[in-house]
Amino acid sequence: MEFKARYSVVVVGAGPAGSTAAQILAKKGVDVLLVEKQREVGKDIFCAEGISRNTLKLAEEIFEIENPEKFIASRVNSVRIIGPDLETIDVRHENMGVTLERKIFDRTLAGIAAANGANLSVGTKFIQAERKNGKVELTLMKEGKLFNVTSDIVIGADGPASGVATSLGLPMETDDEEVHRCAQFFIYNDRIVGNRLDFFFSEKYSPTGYAWVFPKGNGFANVGLGVLTSSGKDPMEFLKSYISDFFPDSKIIGWLRGVVPIGGYNKRIYADNLLVTGDAARLADPVTGGGIGPAILSGKIAGEVAFEALERGDLSEKFLKKYEKIYWDRTGIDYKVSLILKEYLKNYTDERIIKLHRVLKKLFDGKDLETISITRLFINTVKVSKDLFGLFFGSGGDVLFNLRKIILR
């Protein structure tokens, strides 16, 4: 593909955030360039591939997908939470979410955006950008050659350590408390339960984080583990002992290391001519590390606000601030609850988790999420942990009143 000298919008990164922004803009007839440094969209994926039903629904709506089955590995209808003493809590809910074939998912989204008119250029790396005369000049590299293109708006969807944000004066600097370091094996083991997500909390195997088993169907699963960078621990070490203790006879089909940046709530995610989305903006859930939903939602809102800015001819940060406001108005409560839980879990001990687990077991075990009483949940939470209740209470009533919605999201 030949580059033009000028585009209305350049989106950097064809992950879920970038493809969503490009899709929204292309559908509105905007001249948008979507660049992806990998030779093939979805070639390198760092993910356990689980999403909620709401995220799936959002993607289906935005991309007008009628047959999601081609990128669904397994449908999820229960969650198991395992404590350090190996006690379990099983919660059911029909159609909780799915595990994806993420390579196919990412390719599908980028392909649909391109089919709707986005100019997709793979094997194209963003190098740098600078503002000139109210626009942005970007330097891109393709097949070893440098190209310059000009754009009214740039959407940074280039994942953790966003070069786009830094280049345009919006560094997303990292605090060790705000990055989960993860390791994951893709395994085959005939004991994997096809429709259940497992979350395992224990000081021994997952200090400051948790281990997960996300089934991919037919005995395959992503088994991984995350720890906060501030813990100074290497997640791979813990994961190896977790696998050898709990899935000793597994066949290892693949492995990866990756990071999930969080903490976007306290950062500015817009500037003149610039909107930053998804992992580039650090929008993943602080506790679960789920970032696909936030990536798609932020990509959607960024695309819509960019369109409005172009229509009005106002590319200033004063106008683009709207993007941040709409995003946090939609998701701020969920994010706040997660931040509070993250604080609680940060210094957990097995003893503390076992105590909390026992209370939650009485409330949740064997139940359908729809039938769970939030009032009882809180009364029991206070009983077990005044500090956890204090954290919620201190954060304001809005968190308390919206909890049911959050749990069922």
Smaller CB distance to ligand FAD: residue 91 or 280? 280
Residues 6+ apart with CB under 8 A from 299: 16, 17, 18, 19, 20, 21, 24, 155, 157, 277, 278
Interface with ligand FAD (CB under 6 A), residue from 10, 11, 18, 246: 18
- Asked if 278 interacts with ligand FAD (CB under 6 A), we say yes
Give the separation between CA 155 and CA 141, rounded to whole angstroms: 17
Residue 358 token pair: 């026992």
- Asked if 125 interacts with ligand FAD (CB under 6 A), we say yes
Interface with ligand FAD (CB under 6 A), residue from 84, 111, 156, 258: 258
Smaller CB distance to ligand FAD: residue 35 or 388? 35
Kindly write out the interface string for residues 143-182 of this chain, putting x where it contacts ligand FAD by CB under 6 A and - elsewhere.
Answer: --------------xxx---x------------------x
Smaller CB distance to ligand FAD: residue 15 or 303? 15
Query: Of the ranges 33-41, 339-347, 353-361, 392-400, which one interacts with ligand FAD (CB under 6 A)?
Result: 33-41
- Asked if 46 interacts with ligand FAD (CB under 6 A), we say yes
Smaller CB distance to ligand FAD: residue 47 or 333? 47
Task: Count the residues of the shown chain that bind ligand FAD, applying the rule CB under 6 A.
Answer: 39
Interface with ligand FAD (CB under 6 A), residue from 31, 36, 152, 324: 36
CB of 396 to ligand FAD, least distance (A): 27
Helix (H) or strand (E) holding 294, with range, is helix 292-312
Instruction: Using CB atoms within 10 Å of the CB of residue 132, give its burial: 0 to 12 exposed, 13 to 18 middle, 19+ buried.
Output: exposed
Query: Of the ranges 6-14, 166-174, 246-254, 312-320, which one interacts with ligand FAD (CB under 6 A)?
Result: 6-14
Residue 264 token pair: 């976007």
Give the separation between CA 351 and CA 379, rounded to whole angstroms: 20
Which of 49, 13, 37 has the alpha carbon at shortest distance from 220? 49
DSSP string computed for 303-337: HHHHHHHHHHT--SHHHHHHHHHHHHHHHHHHHHH
Smaller CB distance to ligand FAD: residue 103 or 358? 103
Smaller CB distance to ligand FAD: residue 13 or 207? 13
Interface with ligand FAD (CB under 6 A), residue from 11, 35, 172, 399: 35
Cα dihedral 101→59→268→283 (10° resolution): -40
- Asked if 16 interacts with ligand FAD (CB under 6 A), we say yes
Interface with ligand FAD (CB under 6 A), residue from 10, 33, 47, 320: 47
Radius of gyration of the chain (CA): 21
Interface with ligand FAD (CB under 6 A), residue from 10, 11, 14, 112: 14
Give the separation between CA 204 and CA 212, rounded to whole angstroms: 14
- Asked if 264 interacts with ligand FAD (CB under 6 A), we say no
CB of 193 to ligand FAD, least distance (A): 17
Smaller CB distance to ligand FAD: residue 84 or 289? 289
Residue 327 token pair: 């995003």
CB 250 within 8 A of CB 240: no
> What is the residue whose two structure tokens read 């006690």?
87
Interface with ligand FAD (CB under 6 A), residue from 3, 63, 126, 185: 126
CB of 282 to ligand FAD, least distance (A): 9
β-pair partners for 12:
35, 156
Give the separation between CA 274 and CA 196, rounded to whole angstroms: 40
Instruction: List Cα–Cα distances, 376 to 338, 388, 405, in angstroms.
Output: 20, 15, 16
Helices (H) and strands (E) in the chain, counts: 12, 17
Site for ligand FAD in 378-407 (CB under 6 A): none
Query: Of the ranges 42-50, 146-154, 243-251, 391-399, which one interacts with ligand FAD (CB under 6 A)?
Result: 42-50
CB 239 within 8 A of CB 222: no
CB of 403 to ligand FAD, least distance (A): 21
Helices (H), 125-256: 163-167, 235-246
Residues that bind ligand FAD in the complex, under the rule CB under 6 A: 12-18, 35-38, 46-51, 125-126, 157-159, 163, 182, 184, 224, 258-260, 278-280, 284, 289-293, 295
